[in-house]
Amino acid sequence: MKKEDKSIIIKQLSEQLKSCSNFYLTDIEALNAAKTSALRRACSKKDIKLIVVKNTLFKKALESVDADMSALYGSLTGSTAIMFAEAANAPARLIKDFTKDTRKGEVGKPQLKAAYLQECFYIGSEHLDALMNIKSKDELVADVVAMLQSPVQRLMSALQSGGNSIHGILKTLEER
């Protein structure tokens, strides 16, 4: 590969890193062509950008970012694919779904090497379940709205039911 091509790739990766605050480093080395195509289709459906990149080029792209990304350098071994996503938990859920048919005792691919989410590092595949449970921005907003609506809904319900029972008591007393 020519030096100019490498610098273009590093520049593109750097721009992608700056524009997306969530990415996963995965190992997809043992996947055959059919499974790799299926993974790419699944990523496309879930708005996840999958890029297979050379470790040295990605390391140089990480070095060009303003933040300290040195915690990820140890994960840049073997074959590396990067999953960029706006939703923090989307790649983790995709990896879990894609590897659910793996037999017991086997290591499913793709396998999580590391993740960088909202300025936090997660190194190793043991963090996959925790990453799946991270809520997206939309889910958090929905939770906050539901929590804000809950007291008002309870108050309205109490007023309506209380109004009906008081009205019923008064009507019964009037009839007597």
Same domain, 106 and 140: no
Same domain, 73 and 100: yes
Torsion, Cα 157 158 164 167, to 10 degrees, reads -150
Same domain, 12 and 46: yes
Percent of the chain with pLDDT over 90: 3
Same domain, 112 and 150: no
Same domain, 91 and 30: yes
Same domain, 35 and 119: yes
The three-state secondary structure class of 78 is coil
For the chain, counts of helices (H) and of strands (E): 6, 5
**Strand order across the 111-117 sheet:** 48-53, 80-85, 22-27, 111-117, 120-123
42-77 pLDDT per residue, tens: 888 988 999 888 888 888 888 888 888 888 888 888
pLDDT computed for residue 167 by the predictor: 67
125-144 pLDDT per residue, tens: 888 888 888 877 777 888 88
pLDDT computed for residue 83 by the predictor: 92
Same domain, 122 and 152: no
Same domain, 121 and 175: no
95-128 pLDDT per residue, tens: 888 877 765 544 557 888 899 887 888 888 888 8
Same domain, 56 and 142: no
Q: Specify the CATH number for the domain of residue 104.
A: 3.30.70.1730
Cα distance between residue 62 and residue 14, in whole Å? 7
Same domain, 45 and 99: yes
Number of domains into which the chain is organized: 2
Cα distance between residue 10 and residue 123, in whole Å? 23
**Cα distances (angstroms) measured from residue 138 to each of 125, 134, 152:** 26, 12, 22
- What is the residue range of 129's domain? 3-134
Same domain, 64 and 147: no
Same domain, 148 and 95: no
Specify which residues 27 forms β-bridges with: 111
Q: Which residues, 6+ apart, have CB-to-CB distance to 84 below 8 Å?
A: 16, 20, 22, 23, 48, 49, 51
